[in-house]
């Protein structure tokens, strides 16, 4: 009889301490834990030790918004997008967003338009434990784009040595704003003091053209999505005719 009573005591103790629900630690619907133990001097409310930062990625690329927090008991981290709590299905094979164990938010690929809601927006992480909560700084997730069509292609020019020349280019729209460079015969055109200058407006200025400036020019617009190359334009350079032999006075006998 004593052996049966002892066995019942052991089973009941195991039920209390081995079962997280019966033992007093449960997961709430939001993922936070309710800890019924007494607060100790080592406990402290959460604090964010790594805030998410603004991120720009090309459409379809992966992205990570980092968030780390500390606290005792260890806090649970939840994410909010544009002020609304986020839900993921990290266990589902078709899911493209997941909460990483350390607290970061990972996008397998970033969507922008189409059937799904765009991922662009304002994000925050919130760390919570039984002693309080901590809210991170806002971070924006933006999608980089670069259109294909040039608004203006450079046009071929014919100039004379010593004259100025200007090749105009208006690259495709993009975000971030594409940088503009020029190439001549496949090589990057470098600024040459005041004589050759690539302006921010997209124009290539040559103040005093030399015969060596002749060639095939293209305008290139580049951002993190990639590069777009304009149609080629030819710069033809001619020299003014000069006399190689000047006429001289001649005496002719009659």
- CA distance from start to end of the chain: 160
Q: Is the pLDDT of residue 17 over 50?
A: no
Per-residue pLDDT reduced to its tens digit, 35-71: 455 788 889 999 999 999 999 999 889 999 999 999 9
CA distance 180 to 199: 9
In this prediction, residue 94 carries a pLDDT of 52
The residues pairing with 167 across neighbouring beta strands, listed in sequence order, are 204
**pLDDT range class, residue 251, cuts 50, 70, 90:** confident
**Cβ atoms < 10 Å from Cβ of 147:** 15
CA distance 174 to 178: 6
In this prediction, residue 254 carries a pLDDT of 62
Count of residues for the chain? 254
pTM, full prediction: 0.67
Please state whether beta strands 76-81 and 121-129 pair in parallel, antiparallel, or not at all (unpaired): antiparallel
Query: For the residues 213-230, what does the mean pLDDT come to?
Result: 96
Q: Is the pLDDT of residue 21 over 70?
A: no
Q: Is the pLDDT of residue 34 over 90?
A: no
């Amino acid at each position: 009889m004593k052996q049966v009573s002892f066995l019942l005591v052991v089973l009941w103790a195991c039920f209390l301490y081995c079962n997280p629900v019966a033992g007093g630690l449960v997961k709430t619907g939001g993922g936070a834990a309710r800890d019924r133990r007494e607060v100790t001097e080592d406990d402290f409310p959460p604090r964010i030790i790594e805030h998410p930062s603004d991120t720009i990625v090309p459409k379809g690329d992966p992205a990570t918004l980092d968030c780390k927090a500390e606290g005792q008991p260890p806090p649970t981290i939840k994410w909010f997008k544009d002020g609304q709590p986020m839900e993921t299905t990290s266990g589902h094979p078709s899911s493209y967003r997941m909460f990483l164990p350390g607290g970061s938010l990972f996008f397998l690929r970033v969507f922008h338009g189409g059937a799904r809601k765009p991922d662009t927006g304002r994000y925050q992480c919130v760390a919570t434990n039984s002693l309080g909560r901590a809210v991170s700084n806002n971070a924006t997730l933006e999608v980089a784009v670069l259109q294909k069509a040039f608004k203006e292609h450079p046009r071929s020019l014919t100039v004379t040595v010593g004259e100025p020349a200007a090749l105009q280019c208006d690259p495709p729209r993009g975000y971030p704003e594409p940088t503009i460079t020029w190439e001549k015969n496949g090589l990057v055109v470098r600024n040459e003091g005041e004589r050759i200058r690539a302006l921010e407006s997209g124009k290539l200025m040559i103040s005093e053209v030399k015969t060596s400036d002749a060639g095939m020019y293209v305008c290139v617009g580049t951002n993190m999505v990639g590069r777009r190359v304009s149609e080629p334009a030819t710069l033809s350079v001619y020299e003014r005719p000069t006399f190689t032999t000047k006429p001289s006075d001649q005496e002719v006998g009659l």
